[in-house]
Structure 1
């Protein structure tokens, strides 16, 4: 056996033994700098994505992206990058961001036939895992996703939601009653409409999902369960930075004290407890709720108990906060532009003799109302950032460009919807752009896909539309709103996956009159 390796090892050991601590640290720092520099050069000029435009620093390192996540300004930074570099930007060494209108079908849909490669799939690492390891609709692989989707799709159909209309009306009327009681007790009182909308959407979803509300409207305060959800979003978004550095992430999980994940566990257990209570009731005797469709499945084709729990936990976030976000954003945009508020109020109050006459079908037929909702979704999308997809081993074709394997692709919604090449006057609230105004005939209206596209689009989009129309119509029928000065520039918010909404403080007055209905509904 040769003694050469031993002599070399001894020489290295002697070298480090003769160096001081400061010299060792300097040597390590120098090696790290060399490593970083070499890797940066390779990523910038020799990486398969080097032909795509974008800042050199972002191609070299993820640090700028991590800073944006930490500060919550990623939506604004991406919008600025696309305005500067165009519809496709290299935002990290292995990541492309798109704002081209036709990118939706190639990234999130089934792709374009006859082009090289296959459609991108979900970037599973970024979607994490559920507490019990049973995948929900978002995290399930294709086979499980298809099975779950077939179960839940009928539950969110227009037909099923029509059967739940009385439930939506019940809590929306309760919201109006609470607001009326508040101004009767104190006419100068201000209301945080973010809270009021959240109370309503969580009570609705609680009843739809578990057969009982969270009583947030009755108690006029957040259920502890909901408080846990809100408090975990920001910190969870920041902690995900460590996932990109496996040794840091593993070390973090090792040193994290037991119980530090208590909030997430507590949220999940709330779902488990409520699912148990709902299952004990069996099939509903009156009406239909979500679990009637679950319980109606044949043995072997339904959900496992773990999947029931994980999906219930998902619905209580995805089906509530996002709807309340759009309602808050729409109300603010209307208050910011009184001429639009006046037009919408006239349309709603002119269509019904009483708020009791409102139905989800009739509200869906109001054209200016529909335009206002679309414009609010454009300027204040509930999910402002991109949902990551990754190209498969044979690559993908997006908008006619071949994308190499293992490339992360996404569409940041806020950046796409405010790109000047997609919409004229992109930062202005202009509902007429959706009503055939010739001044906006060149707008790329197909851009607007707030619920995504393809087989993994939002299963609850019908619910969201019906709910937001009913809630907004009822409150605008009953009240005149005035924005408090403290809530001016309300949309200047940070984003951590979702918007970090500030209080939307408003004064309310009972509507003095309503217009006589201009037409009758069958």
Structure 2
């Protein structure tokens, strides 16, 4: 055998040994990581401070079931099932507790008191959708003092006085919705008597056009164009992507670090376009100056100054415009869609509400936000829809501080994620009689439902960070529904069976709600 042959054999043997070494090292690393995962899981199940709370052992062992439920949009039903099985307090992941007791609303989300000051859990901001600019808004600023300052700045724009001033704007777009429905019926192939509409689509058009005018001083023209603005389409994609991304970023930052380069292009472009839309329109609105665009959000905000300086930076204006376009549109159209479905699915309730509306108003022009607010059965129907189909159905996560917190009489150690699951608590048979039935009478003093704990339903949350725009939402919902039901008779199309069975990514992923619409005969 010559020298070159021997050299090749030696090199080949060296490569084999090197490959084996790499495989052995890799196997060792995998074994170490796996064993660490197992040991940590065993600690979480049997020795962790939360091990005394009930819940599935696998959910205590690993966060995988929770992340999977977020990923496939089933977190609301997953948590509800766990509460059915394990009770009012459930450990839904290694460091997270879910509470089905109405007292938890006050203990987690309220102001606190002198006895528990400093132990009220603040928002767990890693699990909230962030603005693409990185500038905190009133929704996700961690500083309570700054949150209070921002809330005072925007409060005048959402006060009853401001809403009264803005009523012509709301009425303009709701009347436009009525015209769109009438025009569609007139053009139908059914002799102009009836037409089928996707009411989810039309409610979205209406709420986005209204909020576009309030926030940017101009409509998005979706009602007139009968088509989604491209930015609105991207809003839905942005929310869904952000929810999944936040879940991984909060708990598996290494995973996000590894896959971020793969997602950066598509997700980054989406974020940039999303933010740039608001930035461009805020710039356009601000060039109009005060009062030139009528009474809108910025007309009521820009007049506030501190020693001659604006109270908001330009970045804060862009961020809040972005946030209001999300929070003040999809949530309202969601409730309108859900309430419409629930009423049509329960014809006796629809008939009772229509009778109240048409018996109160002799002409469409008599309908106003203030007048609609006085309709008791309408109010009950809205409350029942908010219970059964809350626009934000999952719990809003807070994180216990370093000294821990007391929730529902139970001490919860530091750095524990706590929440009240909105959907699960509102369909609990312990708190509501016939919880899966749409019964507005439970809100009107009906003796059959005297034992219901109505304080369990808090669709706008409570405390210092409750929804600033809840009065606006109520007025808008009442005005839209009153005008639609005064002008039209509605009938549910057959293809809507099981419409409420939807995925959730912060908000419900609504499917089309096809409704047959006729002009009301008098």
Work out the CA distance in 2 between the residues paired with 1:18 and 1:381.
58
Residues 1:496 and 2:502 aligned together: no
Q: 1:165 aligns with which of 160, 164, 167?
A: 167
User: After TM superposition, what 4+ stretches of structure 1 lie above 3 angstroms from structure 2?
Assistant: 16-29, 254-260
Q: Which residue of 2 aligns with 1:420?
A: 429
Number of matched residues?
A: 500
User: 1:115 Cα shift?
Assistant: 4.4
Q: 2:182 aligns with which of 180, 183, 202?
A: 180
Note if contact 2:53-2:89 (Cα within 8 Å) is conserved in structure 1: yes
Work out the CA distance in 2 between the residues paired with 1:79 and 1:432.
24
Q: 1:89 to 1:134 in 2, by over 3 A?
A: same
Stretch deviating more after TM superposition (17-26 or 187-196): 17-26
Note if contact 2:156-2:301 (Cα within 8 Å) is conserved in structure 1: no
Q: Which residue of 2 aligns with 1:195?
A: 201
Q: What does 1:18-29 correspond to in 2, within 5 Å?
A: 19=20, 23-29=24-30
Q: Which residue of 1 aligns with 2:379?
A: 370
Q: What does 1:143-162 correspond to in 2, within 5 Å?
A: 143-162=145-164
Q: 1:289 aligns with which of 296, 317, 332?
A: 296
User: 1:412 Cα shift?
Assistant: 1.1
- Aligned-pair Cα RMSD in Å: 1.9
User: 1:27 Cα shift?
Assistant: 3.2
Q: 2:275 aligns with which of 268, 272, 276?
A: 268
User: 1:313 Cα shift?
Assistant: 0.3
User: 1:426 Cα shift?
Assistant: 0.7
Residues 1:333 and 2:342 aligned together: yes
Q: 1:279 aligns with which of 268, 281, 286?
A: 286
User: 1:267 Cα shift?
Assistant: 1.4
Secondary structure of the equivalent of 2:175?
Answer: helix
Work out the CA distance in 1 between the residues paired with 2:229 and 2:264.
26
Work out the CA distance in 1 between the residues paired with 2:497 and 2:309.
54
Q: What does 1:109-508 correspond to in 2, within 5 Å?
A: 109-115=110-116, 118-127=119-128, 129-140=130-141, 141-186=143-188, 187=190, 188-243=194-249, 244-258=251-265, 260-285=267-292, 287-298=294-305, 299-300=308-309, 302-508=311-517
Note if contact 2:217-2:293 (Cα within 8 Å) is conserved in structure 1: no
Deviations 1:385-405 (A, max 9, x none): 011100111111111111111
User: 1:241 Cα shift?
Assistant: 3.3
Work out the CA distance in 2 between the residues paired with 1:443 and 1:113.
30
Q: Which residue of 2 aligns with 1:30?
A: 31
Q: 1:197 to 1:349 in 2, by over 3 A?
A: same
User: 1:117 Cα shift?
Assistant: 5.7
Q: Which residue of 2 aligns with 1:4?
A: none
Q: Which residue of 1 aligns with 2:10?
A: none
Stretch deviating more after TM superposition (88-97 or 104-113): 104-113
Work out the CA distance in 2 between the residues paired with 1:144 and 1:251.
34
Runs of 5+ in structure 2 lacking a partner?
1-16
Secondary structure of the equivalent of 2:411?
Answer: strand
Work out the CA distance in 1 between the residues paired with 2:185 and 2:263.
48
Work out the CA distance in 1 between the residues paired with 2:397 and 2:96.
9
Work out the CA distance in 2 between the residues paired with 1:448 and 1:246.
34
Secondary structure of the equivalent of 2:394?
Answer: coil
Deviations 1:145-171 (A, max 9, x none): 111110111110111101111111110
User: 1:242 Cα shift?
Assistant: 2.4
Note if contact 1:106-1:112 (Cα within 8 Å) is conserved in structure 2: no
Work out the CA distance in 2 between the residues paired with 1:459 and 1:296.
19
Q: 1:292 to 1:397 in 2, by over 3 A?
A: same
User: 1:300 Cα shift?
Assistant: 4.3
Work out the CA distance in 1 between the residues paired with 2:430 and 2:401.
30
Note if contact 1:116-1:397 (Cα within 8 Å) is conserved in structure 2: no
User: 1:258 Cα shift?
Assistant: 3.8
Work out the CA distance in 1 between the residues paired with 2:20 and 2:49.
41
Q: 1:116 to 1:318 in 2, by over 3 A?
A: closer
Work out the CA distance in 2 between the residues paired with 1:256 and 1:194.
30
Q: Which residue of 1 aligns with 2:5?
A: none
Q: Which residue of 2 aligns with 1:57?
A: 58
Query: TM-score, normalised on structure 2?
Result: 0.92
Q: 1:90 to 1:113 in 2, by over 3 A?
A: farther
Deviations 1:42-96 (A, max 9, x none): 1111111111111111111000011111111111111111111111111111111
Stretch deviating more after TM superposition (105-114 or 193-202): 105-114
Secondary structure of the equivalent of 1:122?
Answer: coil
Work out the CA distance in 2 between the residues paired with 1:346 and 1:423.
27
Work out the CA distance in 2 between the residues paired with 1:301 and 1:411.
37
Runs of 5+ in structure 1 lacking a partner?
1-15, 514-522
Q: 1:115 to 1:455 in 2, by over 3 A?
A: closer
Secondary structure of the equivalent of 1:416?
Answer: helix
